[in-house]
């Protein structure tokens, strides 16, 4: 009995001890949620996509839009004077092309070599030579979406890529047989490699990035200024500056010979005027996606509004996050913040640090050099900065509530329509040779003479061989292919006078503006020919000269008998 009583007392004491040692549930405060907060939510890395389907859409949708818009009426815009140079270069043999680059356009050598291959496969028709630019535009739009996804803001990438594909200024350069759409695609690709470099700076990534910068410069020498913008972005992001420099230095060394050769052909940019305030305003309009000029600002005001909203949104979100980090421990911030919202905030800030230098540095450097040293600014030299503006506008669109974002996108699309029709119309380029060629085809007779003013207008012979093949180029001494130029070599006054002797009609084809027939040549022509008409078209003119009738005037005495 006594032993049983002691055992019961010991068990009771042990029960009290275990109850005292057991932890008590935490007390609920007035402001606390009734649901338990997870101790450590599993965060998805900022760059990791949420769903494979959405990940593909970020790339596929902009690419498809760019292809559709690029192929829309691809043969509609006329082949203007710069595209005529592409046709002339692409149709030459490789030795003739090398000879050409020794005197002119060495900075476009890589592009001309590519077009030589295209011409060998599909001919020198305008549509065939423009197709590589359309494909490059699709790659640039897809890469723009990929940049947003890599930064952890896939919606901004999707909207940015779609806006880029639908910008009228993008259509302008995508539908052109020149290297600027390829330059934009190379700039987007180099930027994607920069993001890879900042996350995993391996030797392979460094080599790929250096190669991308080199290709970019060989497509457009001035586009190498993007490397400086990348360096600033790395500094702002506190990234691996030394590793970036190790990749940029070999690229700079590879580009130096091209820069030296290009400097020996500086006459190629001698025509560029010093930029004025109106040019800066036009730059702002075109960087934001519209054409400027007669079409008005178009989408530019709305694009800049979206860009500014995106910048303000990123700044406010960054300030709030920094304030929360100061007030609460890091673990508490991680528990209270929504993981997706935190990733979006971080991605928005990273997007701003990347795109603002990309958008501003190349243009500001060219403008400063044009004002301080020598004019070198032309918008097409900074066209590769347009994807940065599209990404910033896409970030602003993604930050809006869905309903308001859809309304803004609809309004933006409506404002872009006039620009799309304008760039595909007869006034969409600096000159329109088609009315000139139609007139010569209808009015000029086989064996008539043709004179080009200035001589570089002769490159249209490569574009319209059926028109000029019937006419006699009376001033030609050496063909452009043999001369290693676009203009060829002209004969002297005596030979020209001898060639004019056998003609009844002479057609003078030239460019409007400051170009005019030299006074001595005009006097030589007007000794034997009388002006018979002048027709002016966009960027070009045609003069007709008919030979004076050598027979004496016939007089009559009124009775039908000549004296």
pLDDT tens readout for residues 379-397: 999 999 999 999 999 999 9
* Per-residue pLDDT tens over the stretch 422-447: 999 888 898 999 999 999 999 999 99
Cα–Cα distance, 450 to 474 (Å, whole number): 6
Instruction: Look at residue 343 in the predicted model and tell me its pLDDT.
Output: 56
Q: What's the pTM value of the predicted model, to 2 decimals?
A: 0.86
Q: What is the DSSP string of 266-277?
A: GGGGTTPPPP-H
Best CA proximity match to 309, nearest among 402, 407, 410, 394: 394
- Strand 540-547 relative to strand 529-537: parallel, antiparallel, unpaired? antiparallel
Cα–Cα distance, 117 to 94 (Å, whole number): 10
* Confidence band of 297 (pLDDT split at 50, 70, 90): confident
CA angle 132/67/363 to nearest 5° reads 70
Cα–Cα distance, 26 to 192 (Å, whole number): 49
Least confident of 12-26, 89-103, 211-225, 459-473: 12-26
Q: What is the DSSP string of 79-111?
A: --HHHHHHHHHHTS-HHHHHHHHTTS-GGGHHH
**Rg (Cα) of the chain, in Å, rounded?**
34
* Per-residue pLDDT tens over the stretch 490-523: 999 999 999 999 899 999 999 987 667 888 899 9
Cα–Cα distance, 248 to 241 (Å, whole number): 10
The residues that bridge with 473 in the sheet, in sequence order, are: 450
- Positions of E strands within 427-525: 449-453, 472-473, 476-478, 489-490, 505-511
Instruction: Look at residue 516 in the predicted model and tell me its pLDDT.
Output: 75
pLDDT > 60? residue 93: yes
Contact 391, 144 (CB under 8 A): yes
SS (H, E, C) 208-256: HHHHHHHHHHHHCHHHHHHHHHHHHHHHHCCCCHHHHHHHHHHHHHHHH
pLDDT > 80? residue 75: yes
Mean of all residue pLDDT scores within the chain: 87
pLDDT > 90? residue 169: yes
Residue 289 gets the label, from left (phi > 0), alpha (psi -120 to 50) or beta, of left
pLDDT > 50? residue 145: yes
Least confident of 55-59, 139-143, 504-508: 55-59
The stretch 280-301 carries a mean pLDDT of: 88
């Amino acid at each position: 009995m006594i032993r049983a009583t002691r055992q019961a007392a010991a068990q009771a004491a042990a029960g009290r001890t275990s109850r005292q040692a057991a932890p008590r549930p935490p007390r609920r405060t007035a402001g606390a949620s009734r649901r338990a907060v997870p101790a450590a939510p599993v965060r998805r890395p900022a760059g990791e996509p949420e769903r494979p389907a959405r990940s593909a859409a970020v790339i596929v949708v902009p690419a498809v839009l760019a292809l559709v818009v690029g192929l829309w009426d691809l043969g509609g815009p006329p082949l203007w004077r710069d595209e005529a140079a592409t046709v002339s270069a692409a149709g030459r043999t490789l030795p003739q092309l090398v000879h050409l680059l020794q005197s002119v356009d060495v900075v476009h050598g890589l592009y001309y070599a590519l077009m030589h291959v295209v011409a060998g496969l599909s001919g020198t028709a305008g549509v065939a030579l423009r197709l590589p630019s359309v494909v490059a535009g699709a790659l640039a739009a897809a890469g723009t979406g990929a940049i947003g996804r890599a930064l952890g803001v896939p919606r901004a990438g999707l909207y940015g890529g779609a806006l880029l594909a639908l910008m009228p200024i993008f259509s302008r350069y995508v539908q052109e047989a020149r290297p600027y759409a390829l330059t934009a695609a190379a700039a987007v690709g180099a930027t994607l490699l920069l993001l890879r470099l900042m996350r995993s700076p391996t030797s392979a990534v460094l080599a790929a990035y250096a190669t991308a910068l080199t290709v970019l410069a060989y497509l457009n020498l001035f586009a190498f200024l993007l490397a400086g913008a990348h360096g600033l972005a790395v500094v702002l992001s506190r990234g691996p500056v030394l590793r970036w420099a190790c990749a940029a230095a070999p690229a700079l060394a590879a580009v130096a010979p091209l820069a030296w050769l290009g400097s020996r052909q500086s006459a190629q940019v001698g025509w560029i005027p010093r930029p004025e305030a109106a040019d800066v305003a036009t730059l702002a309009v075109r960087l934001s996606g519209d054409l400027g000029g007669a079409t008005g600002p178009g989408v530019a005001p709305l694009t800049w509004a979206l860009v500014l909203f995106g910048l303000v949104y990123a700044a406010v979100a960054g300030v709030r996050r920094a304030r929360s980090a100061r007030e609460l421990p890091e673990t508490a911030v991680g528990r209270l913040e929504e993981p997706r919202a935190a990733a979006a905030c971080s991605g928005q800030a990273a997007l701003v640090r990347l795109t603002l230098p990309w958008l501003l540095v190349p243009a500001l450097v060219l403008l400063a050099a044009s004002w301080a040293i020598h004019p070198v600014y032309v918008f097409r030299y900074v066209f590769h900065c347009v994807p940065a503006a599209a990404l910033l506008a896409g970030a602003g669109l993604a930050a809006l509530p869905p309903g308001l974002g859809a309304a803004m996108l609809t309004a933006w699309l409506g404002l872009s329509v006039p620009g799309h029709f304008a760039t595909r119309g007869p006034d969409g380029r600096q000159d329109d040779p088609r009315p000139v060629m139609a007139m010569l085809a209808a009015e000029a007779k086989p064996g008539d003479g043709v004179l080009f003013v200035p001589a570089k207008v002769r490159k249209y012979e490569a574009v319209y061989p059926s028109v000029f093949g019937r006419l006699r180029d009376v001033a030609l001494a050496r063909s452009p292919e043999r001369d290693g130029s676009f203009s060829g070599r002209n004969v002297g006054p005596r030979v020209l006078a001898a060639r004019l002797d056998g003609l009844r009609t002479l057609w003078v084809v030239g460019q409007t503006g400051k170009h005019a027939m030299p006074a001595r040549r005009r006097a030589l022509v007007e000794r034997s020919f009388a002006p018979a008409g002048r027709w002016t078209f966009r960027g070009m003119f045609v003069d007709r000269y008919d030979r004076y009738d050598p027979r004496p005037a016939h007089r009559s005495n009124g009775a039908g008998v000549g004296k």
